[in-house]
Amino acid sequence: MRSATRVASAYMSKEAASGLFGFTKATQRDGESAIKKVKKQAEKISTQLEKRHPEAGVYFTLRCNKAGCVPSKVLAKTCIFNKPQTRILKGPMGFKPSTAKASQKAISDILLFAGEVGHGLYHRKNDILPFLTAYARRKRCPYAKLIVETYPHIQGEL
């Protein structure tokens, strides 16, 4: 009887919720590493984009303010330059078509990468979604919100 109690208490202590927001440390570590991966990729994408189109930061800022686009918010947060665009009459939101096209490609690239990160998390640990949701809500982290938006959802579970 005592050995069963010891095993049960060892199991309970191993699963203690000592991490952030009442989750386990392993869940917190996995979630935060996924957020760091997305942030690093967003920095890489925005740096490459700004070399050719320095006004891309303004494009992302306007897009996230007008449309509430989370990928635009993520990329706008990592942009270094905020060079005002040269207004032209033709083009999306008053930007050059080449800038808008490159910016839209950057948005789709960060969406795909966040989806890959979410897919990897889903197959390793299925209980990471509540942590990411709480992290996005409480810390107002756009990177966590982006992962939650692209996280795989199974039709039967809804």
pLDDT tens readout for residues 12-57: 445 556 667 778 888 889 999 999 999 999 999 999 998 998 888 8
- H or E segment and range at residue 24: none
Which parts of the chain have pLDDT scores under 50? 1, 6-13, 155-158
CB atoms within 10 A of CB 153: 11
Q: Which pLDDT belongs to residue 8?
A: 44
CA distance 35 to 45: 15
Asked if 30 and 23 count as a contact pair (C-beta separation under 8 A), the reply is no
3-state SS, residue 71: helix
Q: Which pLDDT belongs to residue 7?
A: 42
User: Which residue type is seen at 108?
Assistant: S
Q: Which pLDDT belongs to residue 44?
A: 95
